[in-house]
Structure 1
Amino acid sequence: MRPARALIDLQALRHNYRLARELTGARALAVLKADAYGHGAVRCAQALEGEADGFAVACIEEALELRAAGINAPILLLEGFFEASELALIAEHDFWCSIHAEWQLQAFESASLPRPVDVWLKLDSGMHRVGFAPAEYADAHRRLLASGKVANLVMMSHFSSADELDNPRSAQQVETFERACKGLAGTVSLRNSPAVLGWPQVPGDWVRPGIMLYGATPFEVAQPEAERLQPVMTLESKVISVRELAVGEPIGYGGGFICTRPTRVGVVAMGYADGYPRTAPSGTPVFIDGQPSQLIGRVSMDMLTVDLTDVPSAGLGSTVELWGRNVAVNDVAIAAGTIAYQVLCNVRRAPLHYINS
């Protein structure tokens, strides 16, 4: 079989979830949207069930997959419902539901539900993506409680810039949230991964760790709590061919890399169809048989090339770590001009292998 694979360390996942709880003392919803950021939502939920306070997904399809797999813990639909007809399923499966728009609120008020639903009412505190405006929030809160269809109500918002530790925007959003929610009954959820790690002064009863669960820092600078995260995914493959090239020889599509010295080139069974970013340039770090090296040449659909020159013991069959314990996924993402969130979510053809389950 093709040797490309992604190892998913479920003990590291549990460690990162426990860190979120330790840092905040709050209840924590483990965010499993987008197939757990490429890590496999069902297996990640199974690894956390029994200690997680609940889970969060983007949409009802993701939530139904977890229920079908036997996950009975609370599951929050972060984007709520997209059609009013989903409300029957939300009540049937006891999902928690975000409401962030007037049309959703009207549909909820009009719905005939067999039982009350836990609602997370979203405030637009300044990100200006979804959520009720501050001037509308108290009335939306009143209408929900008046409907008689709410079991528990959580007041929530989302930070736009919490990954920028010196940006005053987050403090401004907290102030906006506190003004809008003053005197309103319910618990509070504000903190996402960067706020869990870097904003201890932000209040809240619930936190929503996402990217930090998977061991990637949300920050572009060093941050002491983020240093405690453990990477969950190791993307690896093997060298399937070795070339000896002279000075001046090009490598790969477009010949963008030209050898400046006699070069041993390892061809690796890994490409952008597996989720490795095509935009990763020559010089992007890799580890070969536990030793540091680098990418050389353009990433192809199914293959990429690495420099074996300074790893003389490496050759055919050598293991190449693209990211994981030795190569931070953030470093690969930065080199490729993107973010770790996208890099992890893009992992596809490489099969997932679970360890420490």
Structure 2
Amino acid sequence: MSRATCATIHLGALRDNLRRLRELAGGARIMAVVKADGYGHGLERVARMLVEADAFGVACIADGQRLRAAGIRQRIVVLSGIDEAADIGEMHRLGLESTIHHASQIDWLAADRNPRPLKVWLKIDSGMHRLGFAVADVAGARARLLALPNVDRDIGLMTHFANSDVIGDAQTMAQIECFQRIASDMPGAQTLSNSAAVLGWPQARGQWIRPGGLLYGISVATGTSGADFGFRPAMTLSSKLVAINRIARGEPIGYAATWTCPEDMDIGVVQIGYGDGYPRSAASGTPLLVNGRRAAIVGRVSMDLITVDLRGHDDARVGDPVILWGPRLPVEEIAAHAGTIGYELTCGMTRRVRFLEDMD
């Protein structure tokens, strides 16, 4: 028999979240970001439900291969671009588009003899300092690309924000101004906005938005959930109670004895752990739902199991359902207890977690 740990993907939520983004996009086209296996929700199932998207953004060519094999016909942009000269042929074969963020990528294109023009997006480092051409190098990089016969003349312009989840952030404003100053003299579609910028920075909308987390109902803005902005969580992580033990006052619970029973009490054991992708960093007090009612983790998360304070749950029985996150318990809340963000949690599901689908 398989473990009880299960991730249920709510397909209707994916569809509804895309439509909600349309409402917020102000006429901009949507490049749905489905990297990291659709933020852990399953690349192909996510793309099929986001068929109304104008394009897809992926992290690597392998993702593009999977999408084309699944019958996805929309534009696909490889956000990290070509990693070596040999990638160019596969980009052509699959009809993918490449981000260009480094001079070496232009060198590879210059040496390529395929006459078919490749669609590219020039990435500008407006202040995040990860990928992209420095401001002083943008014009030269664009001129080099325009001189190549195997590059489509319609070159898009792209940047990425470092701190757009903070409304009114000075760095984000500086990045917007930097990008707009450079792009004002350059024709081509512009894309700046990630999920957080869609919500908080309408002046950064451009012709394309690139939402990721909001497609899955997840917010990264501190103290908020996707539901606060009209989005629905697309994943429920669940398991069940596999034991209930009566533990005496003063007895420690779990590895390293990090929590001690303040009274004689029932401790539940739930079949999930960091071997499934549940965060080991989730501290005592992290909430979950037992039979639909709140309880809390006590002690350290182990590889296969967690322990739960069942005070106030006198009716709990072995086999009862447990929700770790989902529509009634936002993944953002769990992430806050674990010192991370919801994206990391949904991306972290391991192979032993069963995936189910529903149309809700």
Deviation string 1:178-221 (CA, Å, 9 cap, x unpaired) is 12122211010000010011111214001110111111111003
The verdict on how the C-alpha distance between 1:273 and 1:45 changes in structure 2, with shifts beyond 3 A counting, is same
Report if aligned partners of 1:17, 1:209 keep a CA contact under 8 Å in 2: no
Between 299-308 and 135-144, report the one with greater CA deviation. Answer: 135-144
Query: In structure 1, how many angstroms separate the alpha carbons of the residues matched to 2:134 and 2:256?
Result: 51
- Report the TM-score when normalising by structure 1: 0.96
Task: Please tell me whether residue 92 in structure 1 is matched to residue 82 in structure 2.
Answer: no
Partner of 1:73: 74
Q: What is the letter of the counterpart of residue 5 of structure 2?
A: A
Report if aligned partners of 2:192, 2:208 keep a CA contact under 8 Å in 1: yes
Query: In structure 1, how many angstroms separate the alpha carbons of the residues matched to 2:157 and 2:110?
Result: 18
* Equivalent of 1:351 in 334, 348, 354: 354
Between 337-346 and 266-275, report the one with greater CA deviation. Answer: 337-346
Query: In structure 2, how many angstroms separate the alpha carbons of the residues matched to 1:113 and 1:43?
Result: 33
Query: In structure 1, how many angstroms separate the alpha carbons of the residues matched to 2:6 and 2:218?
Result: 19
| SS of alignment partner, residue 298 of structure 2 | coil
Partner of 1:21: 22
Query: In structure 2, how many angstroms separate the alpha carbons of the residues matched to 1:216 and 1:314?
Result: 30
The verdict on how the C-alpha distance between 1:226 and 1:29 changes in structure 2, with shifts beyond 3 A counting, is farther
Partner of 1:64: 65
- Equivalent residues in 2 for 1:261-280 (5 A)? 261-280=263-282
* Equivalent of 1:198 in 197, 200, 205: 200
Q: Percent identity?
A: 44
Deviation string 1:122-154 (CA, Å, 9 cap, x unpaired) is 000011111011111122222222213233321
> How many angstroms does 1:223 deviate by?
8.0
Report if aligned partners of 1:197, 1:226 keep a CA contact under 8 Å in 2: no
The verdict on how the C-alpha distance between 1:6 and 1:224 changes in structure 2, with shifts beyond 3 A counting, is closer
The verdict on how the C-alpha distance between 1:173 and 1:73 changes in structure 2, with shifts beyond 3 A counting, is same
Deviation string 1:45-72 (CA, Å, 9 cap, x unpaired) is 11112x1111111111111111122222
Task: Please tell me whether residue 182 in structure 1 is matched to residue 184 in structure 2.
Answer: yes
Query: In structure 2, how many angstroms separate the alpha carbons of the residues matched to 1:338 and 1:225?
Result: 19
* Equivalent of 2:44 in 21, 42, 45: 42
Task: Please tell me whether residue 165 in structure 1 is matched to residue 146 in structure 2.
Answer: no
Task: Please tell me whether residue 302 in structure 1 is matched to residue 304 in structure 2.
Answer: yes
Between 347-356 and 89-98, report the one with greater CA deviation. Answer: 347-356
> How many angstroms does 1:247 deviate by?
1.1
How many pairs were matched up? 356
Report if aligned partners of 2:56, 2:74 keep a CA contact under 8 Å in 1: yes
| SS of alignment partner, residue 177 of structure 2 | helix
Q: What is the letter of the counterpart of residue 243 of structure 2?
A: S
Could you list the runs of 5+ residues in structure 2 that have no partner in the other structure?
none
The verdict on how the C-alpha distance between 1:315 and 1:227 changes in structure 2, with shifts beyond 3 A counting, is farther
| SS of alignment partner, residue 88 of structure 1 | helix
Deviation string 1:55-95 (CA, Å, 9 cap, x unpaired) is 11111111111112222221110000111110001011100
Report if aligned partners of 1:257, 1:296 keep a CA contact under 8 Å in 2: yes
| SS of alignment partner, residue 127 of structure 2 | coil
| SS of alignment partner, residue 119 of structure 2 | strand
> How many angstroms does 1:333 deviate by?
0.9
Deviation string 1:232-287 (CA, Å, 9 cap, x unpaired) is 11110000111011211111112211111221111111000100000101100101
